[in-house]
Amino acid sequence: MAFGWIDEQAELRRRAGLVRTLRPRSAESPLLDLASNDYLGLARHPEVTEGAERAARTWGGGATGSRLVTGTTELHAELEQALADYCGFEAALVFSSGYAANLAAVTALAPHGSLIVSDAGNHASLIDGCRLARGTTQVVAHSDPEAVGKTLYTHTGEAIVVSDTVFSVDGDAAPLAEYAEVCRERGAGLVVDDAHGLGVLGDGGRGAPHAAGLAGADDVVVTVTLSKSLGSQGGAVLGPARVIQHLVNTARTFIFDTGLAPASAGAALAALRLLRREPERAARARAVARELHTRLTAAGLEAVRPDAAVVSVRAPSPEEAVQWAAECRAAGLAVGCFRPPSVPDSISRLRLTARADLSEAEIERAVRVIGETRP
């Protein structure tokens, strides 16, 4: 029977307790949200939704074509300029998702014969970029600049080092300054995914590369998503203008994809304006994360010390993680549940989002519920 093997796989998944299902949320959900990536609480901010509405009214429901045909509006150009200016890079290029931006950056910058050094904790989209690239990938130990340096020394041609800035599972930050140093010693490029850093780290949320003094460097390329702190949808690559021009001419997820929807561009632009005007939101997200961690630890839970706005709490097993998250939900709290195969080390955890707009009472309630429902 065609596709018979997928039933066997489904059965294995069921037995391992690893079945995933979709649960549509309602617009009026009563749950306290510590599960989304809306770090700054901007997805429903009136200025952000108004930005989306205005853009849709002016430019339409879709971009109407790929970026090199009809899909580049003045709004896309304005967003690219605003992103580059805010994060301190020469130029930016917007994609329909952060996933597409990562595929573009890695594939376009790792030609045949090149070496890609990839951190073992990298996000799936960077991993897929490595798989699609013509260069050869070497995976190195997580957050280990020495291992990166050693691997770079095994190769004499073109090379890039690829890493998340903040790892999405545990919320730990990569040693960016050290990575930049070993890259410079070998003339390698550094490509970092700042999906969880933009809006949270650096002055006013200008991102982890900005915080590490790497903004505007001619050997550093940064990818971001518009779908987390900026409360919109889409992605971007930031870097030297010559790199961005190279992507315009060669990146397949740019050339063959319809441009970002105008509503998403309008929402992201409005969010960037808010970040400029209210830079304290970034520091607040970090403070909420630290407070969550302190309280969870005091309650005897095993939480990873957060470097940004993600707080990860260890669960004993995938089944218990699922059960724990379900009990939190029943008690009115939405938390993320990460388990194999979405975790690099087979350890299941609850993943909490430290949103900047959480009140003290909400933080207290969240920690109480997590503590009371622990396995």
209 contact partners, CB below 8 Å, separation of at least 6: 87, 165, 176, 192, 194, 197, 202, 215, 217, 220, 222
Are 134 and 114 spatial neighbours (Cβ–Cβ below 8 Å)? yes
User: Taking the complex as a whole, how short is the minimal distance between the CB of residue 368 and ligand PMP, in angstroms?
Assistant: 28
Which residue has the closest beta carbon to ligand PMP?
98
Min CB(193)–ligand PMP separation in Å: 5
Least CB distance from residue 364 to ligand PMP, whole Å?
28
- Residue 59 or 338: the one with the smaller Cβ distance to ligand PMP is 338
Q: Look at residues 113, 195, 124, 128 and name the one whose alpha carbon lies nearest to residue 160.
A: 113
Q: Which is nearer to ligand PMP, 174 or 274 (CB)?
A: 174
Q: How far is the CB of 4 from ligand PMP (least distance, A)?
A: 32
What is the bridge-based pairing of β-strands 310-314 and 333-338?
unpaired
Nearer to ligand PMP, 2 or 22 (CB): 22
Q: Which is nearer to ligand PMP, 253 or 373 (CB)?
A: 253
Q: CB of 232: closest distance to ligand PMP in angstroms?
A: 9
Residues that bind ligand PMP (CB under 6 A): 97-99, 102, 123, 125, 164, 168, 193, 195-196, 225, 227, 235
CB nearer to ligand PMP: pick between 196 and 284:
196
In sequence order, which residues have a C-beta less than 8 Å from that of residue 231 and are 6 or more positions away?
A: 38, 40, 41, 42, 43, 44, 45, 48, 267, 271
Q: CB nearer to ligand PMP: give 91 or 198.
A: 198
Shortest distance, position 158 Cβ to ligand PMP, whole Å: 24
Say if CB 185 and CB 213 are below 8 A apart.
no
In terms of CB distance, is 41 or 234 closer to ligand PMP?
Answer: 234
Task: With beta carbons less than 8 A apart as the criterion, state whether 157 and 134 touch.
Answer: no
For the bound state, the minimum distance from the C-beta of residue 191 to ligand PMP, rounded and expressed in Å, comes to 12
User: How far is Cα of residue 59 from the mean position of the Cα atoms in its chain?
Assistant: 27
Contact partners, residue 139, CB within 8 Å, separation at least 6: 118, 119, 120
User: What is the token pair recorded at 220?
Assistant: 């550093």
CA distance readout (Å), 168 to 37, 95, 124, 351, 352:
10, 20, 10, 9, 11
> Which residues is 140 bridged to in the sheet?
119
